[in-house]
Structure 1
């Protein structure tokens, strides 16, 4: 039978891995995937272009039609705000601006998933910039 001390040790050793399990991860499109409100959002950064994919809580893709979003982009010593628009296929939101997709890029996405819903936001530091 395990002792109280061994149970506490096992619990404490498991805590760091639990914390990492809820942090940002790589999404199916190669971008950073993380929680945004009750959804999951994946941000893919390329030079001058951001693509944002929206998923439900079970990681099933959602249509971007009806969603509105803006992003505050911090990169190259500048800050700019860009506005997303749905891609023609409705699979994602896209925005463009004057920035380079390098490891120092930081993006705050503000999303209204559909009309009448509250605005939600997430902070992204893209895992790897796509060129």
Structure 2
């Protein structure tokens, strides 16, 4: 009985940081109506419309980060196949265009590389 209590307490202690992290993970709607994901030290917001892909980069305090010096790639699933979109700075965001229509909420990954050469990625389900 003591072992079971110990294991149950250990399970709760291990799960708490995961739950806390999920609670502060940025799921939901961003400043531009897109989905938010954590990407290393950044938060990224993904908006897709037709073939257009737009990604905004934010710091840990959710302040917009200028896209100059950033580059990226969005790998989004469309009809069961990956659509790879190169992203480049465009005004206050990274932007690119896919070869096919993406829909409003495709699943996939956005990989970004900062001006310092550090890479990070955010997953969108």
User: Distance in 1 between the 2:26 and 2:65 partners?
Assistant: 21
1:76–1:99 contact (8 Å) kept in structure 2: no
Q: Which runs of 5+ in 1 are unaligned?
A: 1-7, 126-131
Partner of 1:118: 118
Deviation at 1:79, TM superposition (A): 1.2
Q: Which runs of 5+ in 2 are unaligned?
A: 1-8
Cα root mean square deviation, aligned:
2.2
- Pick aligned residue for 2:69 from 56, 61, 66: 66
TM-score, normalized by length of structure 2? 0.76
After TM superposition, the runs of 4+ consecutive aligned structure 1 residues lying more than 6 A away are none
Deviation at 1:17, TM superposition (A): 7.1
Task: Trace 1:1-131 onto structure 2 (pairs within 5 A).
Answer: 18=20, 19-87=22-90, 89=91, 91-97=92-98, 98-103=100-105, 105-114=106-115, 116-125=116-125
User: Distance in 1 between the 2:58 and 2:70 partners?
Assistant: 12
SS in 2 for 1:84: strand
SS in 1 for 2:64: coil
User: Distance in 1 between the 2:117 and 2:102 partners?
Assistant: 32
Deviation at 1:23, TM superposition (A): 4.6
User: Distance in 1 between the 2:46 and 2:76 partners?
Assistant: 12
Would the alpha carbon gap of residues 40 and 23 (structure 1) be closer, same or farther in structure 2, given more than 3 Å must change? closer
Equivalenced residues, count? 110
TM-score, normalized by length of structure 1? 0.73
Instruction: Considering fraction of residues, name the structure with more helix.
Output: 2
